[in-house]
């Protein structure tokens, strides 16, 4: 039975991203070959990743869906080789129940569903039956159209309502309490202001959901917009967003996030290690 506490009860965990896709926004095409993806996953672990998130379908805004066969053909060989070799849990980033089932069969132990079980509700049964971890992520709309005019009354309250409802759906399907994790879905149907407000008020969301919170800001568009516009007047390109990513990693960890999902594991792992040392010293001094 997967238990998030084993990964992140002592300090926040780093989830390293292994995208086996031709079109992900930051690393699309780099690891489409299984051997390259496996090598990348092992390098992320060597750099401090506590778990690896393997995905075969890009969720970037405007991305076209892929078939189940294509998606499985990408992720299964990678998971089969990574699971015995990586020494850390593997999660499968998918919205498809059949892909999740095959990935769990191949050695993954967590299902990371950006639709939180809305696209294919059977994915909750698949996770429950396997005793797998389950990440329920918030998204307004669907990837192809989600950035067209997203709207909220109160983004933190609305995302909190959604996550609580989806966690309840997962519980109803039999997913164990210790296997649950929630994610506000930074960049998924949200404006720059929505993303910033979610991060600014992350502690409210942490208190609200009552399960470990995963946050994925790595190299996302809003970082390029906030930092680029403030400095050069243009968006910062994706390959220049690592410093901004690290700033958000420190921020979210300080506000109670339990897992950070990143493309580059070393800076996040180093920051978390240092924050942990300083927090321990702070407690000792008190
Ligand atoms: N972001 C992407 C893909 N999957 N899953 C979760 N749980 N949270 C996220 O923020 C998230 C995700 C965006 O694409 P990427 O893999 O290229 O970063």
pLDDT, the chain, mean: 94
Per-residue pLDDT tens digits for 206-221: 999 999 999 999 999 9
**% of the chain residues with pLDDT over 70:** 96
Going by alpha carbons, the residue nearest to atom 1 of ligand 1 is 216
**What size, in residues, is the chain?**
286
Per-residue pLDDT tens digits for 24-82: 777 766 667 899 999 999 999 999 999 999 999 988 777 778 999 999 999 999 999 99
The whole-number pLDDT of residue 65 equals: 82
Domain boundary assignment for the chain: 5-285
The whole-number pLDDT of residue 61 equals: 76
In the structure, what pLDDT confidence band is assigned to residue 166 with cuts at 50, 70 and 90? very high
Question: CA-CA distance, 270 to 31, in Å (whole number)?
Answer: 24
Q: Which residues are catalytic?
A: 220, 261
Which of 91, 166, 261, 265 to probe ligand 1 with, by most ligand atoms within 8 A of CB? 261
Could you tell me which CATH class the domain 5-285 is placed in? alpha beta
| Contacts (Cβ under 8 Å, ≥6 apart) of 59 | 93, 114, 143, 188
Q: Is 261 in the pocket of ligand 1 (CB under 6 A)?
A: yes
- Angle, alpha carbons 94-266-194 (nearest 5°): 55
Atom of ligand 1 nearest to the CA of 186: 10
Per-residue pLDDT tens digits for 78-110: 999 999 999 999 999 999 999 999 999 999 999
Total-model pTM = 0.96
| Contacts (Cβ under 8 Å, ≥6 apart) of 257 | 12, 202, 206, 213, 214, 215
Question: CA-CA distance, 47 to 39, in Å (whole number)?
Answer: 12
């Amino acid at each position: 039975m997967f238990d998030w506490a084993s990964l992140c009860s002592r300090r926040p965990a780093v989830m390293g991203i292994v995208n086996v896709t031709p079109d992900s926004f930051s690393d699309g095409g780099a690891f489409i070959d299984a051997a390259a993806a496996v090598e990348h996953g092992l390098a992320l672990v060597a750099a401090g990743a506590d778990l690896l998130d393997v995905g075969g379908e890009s969720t970037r805004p405007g991305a076209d869906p892929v078939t189940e066969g294509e998606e499985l053909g990408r992720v299964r060989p990678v998971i089969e080789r990574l699971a015995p070799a990586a020494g850390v849990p593997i999660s499968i980033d998918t919205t498809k129940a059949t892909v999740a089932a095959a990935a769990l069969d191949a050695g993954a132990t967590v299902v990371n569903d950006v639709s939180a079980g809305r696209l294919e509700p059977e994915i909750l049964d698949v996770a429950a039956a396997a005793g797998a971890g389950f990440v329920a992520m918030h998204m307004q709309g669907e990837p192809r159209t989600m950035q067209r005019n997203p709207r909220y009354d109160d983004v933190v309250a609305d995302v909190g309502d959604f996550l609580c409802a989806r966690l309840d759906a997962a519980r109803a399907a039999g997913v164990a309490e210790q296997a649950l994790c929630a994610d506000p879905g930074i960049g998924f149907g949200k404006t720059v202001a929505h993303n910033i407000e979610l991060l600014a008020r992350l502690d409210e969301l942490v208190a609200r959901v009552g399960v470990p919170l995963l946050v994925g800001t790595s190299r996302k568009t809003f970082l390029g917009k906030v930092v680029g516009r403030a400095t050069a007047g243009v968006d910062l390109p994706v390959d220049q967003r690592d410093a901004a990513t690290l700033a958000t990693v420190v921020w979210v960890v300080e506000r109670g996030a339990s897992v950070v999902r990143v493309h580059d594991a070393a800076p996040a792992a180093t920051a978390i290690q240092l924050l942990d040392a300083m927090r321990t010293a702070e407690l000792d001094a008190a």
